[in-house]
Structure 1
Amino acid sequence: MNVATPQPKPVSAESAVPRLTELARFAGCAAKISQADLHKALAGLPVAADPRVLVGHDTSDDAAIIKLRDDLALVETVDIFPPIVDDAYDYGRIAAANALSDIYAMGGTPLNALSFVAWPVDTLGTVPLRQVLEGAAAICKEAGIAISGGHSIVDEEPKFGLFVTGTIDPRKVVSNAGARPGDALVLTKPIGTGVLTTAVKRNAAPESVLAAAIKSMTTLNRDAAEAMNAAGAHAATDITGFGLLGHLGNMLRASSAAAGTPIGAKLSYAAVPVFDKVTGFLKDGLCPGGTKRNLEYAAPNARFADSLTEPQRLLLADAQTSGGLLIAVPQDKLAGLVADLKKRGTLAAAVIGSITVVDKPGVIEVTA
C-alpha cells in the first residue's frame, strides 16, 4: 500500500541553509559499509569474553547489552552518517531519531546521549552546525534525555550522530535472535526513504516529495517499542541501511543460530507499506548505490515470485534511514499488537509476513 505525501511546510528565507547533500557522497544510512564487506572485516574477531556482555556484535543486533545486576543492564549504541536532507535542523532531528531507534528496538529506555560531529567549517560555517545540534537536542528532549557532551573534528564531508546509552531489565531484552516459526512479522513505518532522497539529491524531484519521509524519519520508535514490549514480542530490529531484506536476514540468521534449526520467512510484497512516488522513481532508475549493494547481498537467500520486477525487488532492499521496527510476534498476540500500534498512531502497523522453517538459515520467500 502507498502512503500519500502531505504538503510540506513553507521554509522561510531566514531558515535557508547551504545544500548539505552536495557535500556528501552517500545519504544517511546508505553510507553503511556493505554487509558483505562488513562480514569480511568482522570475520574471526573474538566474541566478547566478558560475562556481563549479554548481546555483542556476533548476532548483528541493534545495540550491545551490558549486565549491571540481575534487574538492570545498559543498552549501548552509536549511529553516525552524512546528511540525508539539506535542512540542517531536520538533519539533526533525523540523526537523533535514528540513533535512539536502536535502544527502542532492543526494548530499552534511553538514558543519555553524546554527540559526534565532523564538519567542514570553512565551507559551511557554524550556523548550520548549530542548527544540526538544535535539531538533535529537540528529538532527545522528546525522548526524555539530554545530549550531555560530545566530540567534534574538521572534515570535508559533514557527518553527525549520537552515542546513546539506555537501560533495560536484562530478562526483558528483545533481540533479533528470538524469532520462532509461526511468528507474524509486523512493520511500523513505510519504506522508500533511500529512493526519495536520491531523487531529490539528483535534482529529479522537488524537495516537497520528502515531506512524508521526513515526518517518518523524525518520528521516534518509542510508541512502537512500547506496544512491542506490551505484546511480548519474540524478536525485533529496526530497518535502516541494509534495507528490509538485509535486516530481516540478520534476524533470521541470528534466530537460526539461537534455535539450532534453519529459520526463514515468507514476505508479501503487496503488504509492505511504501511511500508515495517511490516505485515510479525506481522505474526511472533513481536508485541509491547502497540499495543495489543490499539487493546483491540479499539475493542468494531471497526466493522472489517470478512476477516481481527488478524495481520491486530493489524496493525491498532500499537503504532506509530512521526506519520502523520489524517485530516478530506470536500469532496469538498479533491482533493485540496491531490494535495497540494503531491506537498509538504509529505510521504503519502492517502485517507483512511470517517466520517459517526452511532448508537453510535466512531464506526469504517473497510473494507478490
Structure 2
Amino acid sequence: MFAANQQDKPRLTSLSHGGGCGCKIAPGVLANLLKTAIPFAVPSELLVGTETADDAAVYQINDHQALIATTDFFMPIVDNPRHFGQIAATNAISDIYAMGGTPLMALAIVGMPINVLPHEDIAEILDGGREICAKAGIPVAGGHSIDSVEPIYGLAVIGIIDPKNLKKNATAKAGDVLVLGKPLGVGIYSAALKKEKLDLSGYEQMIANTTKLNTPGKKLAAITGVHAMTDVTGFGLLGHALEICKGSNVQGQINYADLKILPGVKELAQQGFITGASNRNWASYGADIELSTDLTPVDQAILTDPQTSGGLLVACDPAVLGEVLEIFAEEDFGDAAVIGQLSPQAEGRSFLRVI
C-alpha cells in the first residue's frame, strides 16, 4: 500500500483530527449555530450573502462588475506537504469558479505547529499553494499566519464577474438537468490513506482529482440556460444538491447508476474506509433524502462522502446540455455527466430522491 516517505518526520495527517473538507462542521450543527446571528441591514449591492449557503459572497460595484469574496481552509488530507498546499488552494479557488467568476488574487491563511512540523515542510505547503494560484493566473498577495496546534492552510480569494452572468445555488428551475463535473470518492480515499491502505494508483487518482481547477465555471456562466451552480465539497453530493433544491424551491432526483465514482472507491468503502463526516452529513440532512431500497450503506456513504475540491454541480435547461458538456470536455473534464433532474416542489417541501 502507498505511504509517503516521511522518514523521522511526523505524518501531516497524524497532526490533525480531520482532513480536507471533511473538517467542515456538519450542516445541521452549522445551521443551529447561525440561528442566533445578529440581523443587520443588507445593502442592495450585496447580491449574495448568507441566505442560501452559497459558495461565496458577491458585492456589486457597478453595472458591469461585481466582486466575489470567499475563504476556505482546512487540515491535511494527505501527508505530502506540497500536495496538501495544492489541494487546499485548488479547493479555495473553486468557489470563485462555482459562482461563474474569474479569480483575481488570493491571501494565504496559515496555522502551523511551528515547533513540531519541519520548517521546510511548511515552506513546501506554501509553495504548493502558490503553484496552483499561478495556474489560475493569480498572485498570493499576502495573508496571515499563526502558531497553532494542528496544521491549517487555505486561501481567501477575490474574484470578479459581470452580474448578469452570476450563477447562484438557489436559482435552478424545475425541468433542469443536473450535471456533475468530477467523479466522487475523495473522502473514502483519504480515509484509506490515513490508515495506510491506499495504493499508489489510488493516491495518484486522488491528487489528480483534487488539484484540478474547476475552470469550466467561467465559460458556463455565460450560458443563459445554465441556471445554477455550486461545487460539491464537505457536505457530499446529497448535501450540496439538497441546497440547490431548497434554495430553488424544487425537488430533485439523482440517478445513482449515472454517477462517476473514482476507481476502487466502492471496494474501499466495503472494507470500512468511510469518514466520520459522511455519517455526520447523513444525520444532518437524511430526513430530506429518499433512498431507493436497492441502495446499500456503501452507496449511502459514497453519496454523503465529503469531497475536497470536488466537481461543479450544474443545473441547466436540457436545451443547452450539449453546450455545457462540450465546455466540460474542452476544459479536460471527461468525467462530467448528467446525474439527475429537477422537478416542481411537491407538497410545499423540497427533497431529494435517489434511485
Which TM class, normalised by the smaller chain length?
over 0.9
Inter-partner Cα distance in structure 2 for 1:287 and 1:164: 30
Could you list the per-position Cα deviations for residues 41-84 of structure 1 after superposition, in whole angstroms to 9, with x for gaps in the alignment?
Answer: 11142265222211001111000001111111100000010000
SS of the residue 1:123 aligns to: coil
**What is the rounded CA distance, in whole Å, between the counterparts of 1:333 and 1:17 in structure 2?**
51
What is the CA-CA distance between 1:18 and the residue it aligns to?
4.0
Gaps of 5+ in 2: none
Q: Paired residue for 1:78?
A: 71
Question: Over aligned residues, Cα RMSD in angstroms?
Answer: 1.9
Name which of structure 1's ranges 22-31 and 294-303 shifts more when overlaid on structure 2.
294-303
Q: TM-score, normalized by length of structure 1?
A: 0.92
Determine if the alignment matches structure 1 residue 229 to structure 2 residue 229: no
Native 8 Å contact 1:183 1:328 kept in 2: yes
User: What does 1:110-259 align with in structure 2 at a 5 Å threshold?
Assistant: 110-222=103-215, 224-232=216-224, 233-256=226-249
The 3 A distance-change label for structure 1 pair 47 and 172 is farther
Counterpart check, 1:283 vs 2:270: yes
- Structure 1 spans left out of the alignment, 5+ residues: 1-7, 257-262
Please tell me whether the aligned partners of residues 200 and 207 of structure 1 are also in contact (alpha carbons under 8 angstroms): no
Confirm or deny that 1:304 pairs with 2:291: yes
Residue identity over aligned pairs, in percent, reads 38
The yes-or-no answer on 1:30 pairing with 2:17 is no
- Which amino acid letter does the alignment assign opposite residue 255 of structure 2? S
- The alpha-carbon deviation at position 362 of structure 1 amounts to 2.9
Secondary structure at the aligned position of 1:205 is classed as coil
2:51 partner SS: helix
Q: Judging changes above 3 Å, is the alpha-carbon distance between structure 1 residues 48 and 42 closer, same or farther for their aligned structure 2 residues? A: farther
Indicate yes or no: 2:318 matched with 1:331.
Answer: yes
CA deviation profile, 1:86-135 (whole Å, cap 9, x unmatched) = 11001001000000000000001101100011101111121011001100
Name whichever of 29-38 and 290-299 sits farther off. 290-299
- Going from structure 1 to structure 2, the CA distance change for 1:202 and 1:14 (only over 3 Å counts) comes to closer
**How many residue pairs align between the two structures?**
352
Paired with 1:14 and 1:353, the residues of 2 have a C-alpha distance of: 43
Residue 165 of structure 1 aligns with an amino acid whose one-letter code is I
Partner of 1:365: 353
- Partners of 1:274 and 1:284 in 2: how far apart? 16
CA contact (8 A) 1:54 1:65 kept: yes
- Say whether the 8 Å CA contact 2:29–2:284 is kept in structure 1: no
Match of 2:92 in 1: 99
Please give the alpha-carbon distance, in whole angstroms, between the structure 2 residues aligned to 1:288 and 1:95: 18
